[in-house]
Structure 1
Amino acid sequence: MSDPLTLARMRADIARQLGEAPEDIGDDDDLMDLGLDSMRVLGLVMKWGESGLPLEFSHLAEHTTLAGWWRVVQDLQQKIA
């Protein structure tokens, strides 16, 4: 994997999708309540997967917060390290 996905990058990418500032996206905010729909999530999965992370939509569908997504990403990063 080239550049590991970071929490800060995830927050910035999510904020961009929502038209918000990164600092407005809290770790425990429900991203669906903030307006993140399944098509935007799929776009994020594809973008983040370009760095070599074997991330799938189903991995993120089980969680609705940035904190939950970050745990998933950390687990995947450890598995491929």
Structure 2
Amino acid sequence: MADQLTAATIRADVAELLHRRPDESFDTEDLFDSGLDSVRLMTLLERWRDAGAEVSFVELAERPTVQQWVKLLVGRDE
């Protein structure tokens, strides 16, 4: 788990790459259906690894929603 990551930072990072507002309700949307691609996913992965996350590309790709990523990276729903 990464101490520096929060649900808000995860949501903001995803919103930035998908050209969305972080306050929009998109936590349960399939991010691949919303325009996320493998290059953007790698960008997020590297950003979150730099913040201390220990997560793989496959773990994120298999759970393509903000809600699931928060559980995976932060360890709780927010």
Q: Which runs of 5+ in 2 are unaligned?
A: none
Greater helix percent: which structure? 1
- Contact 2:18–2:36, Cα closer than 8 Å, also in 1: yes
TM-score normalized by the length of structure 1: 0.81
Q: CA RMSD in A?
A: 1.8
1:74 deviates by 2.8
Distance 1:69 1:33, change over 3 A: same
TM-score normalized by the length of structure 2: 0.83
- Contact 2:2–2:73, Cα closer than 8 Å, also in 1: no
1:7 match:
7
1:32 deviates by 0.9
Separation in structure 2 between the aligned mates of residue 25 and residue 13 of structure 1, nearest angstrom: 14
1:37 match:
37
Q: Which runs of 5+ in 1 are unaligned?
A: 76-81
Identity of aligned residues (%): 39
Look at both structures and tell me which one has the larger radius of gyration over its CA atoms. 1
List structure 1 segments (4+ residues) > 3 angstroms apart after TM superposition: none
1:54 match:
54
Task: Give the counterpart letter for 1:60 in structure 2.
Answer: L
Structure with more relative contact order (C-alpha pairs < 8 Å, separation 6 or more): 2
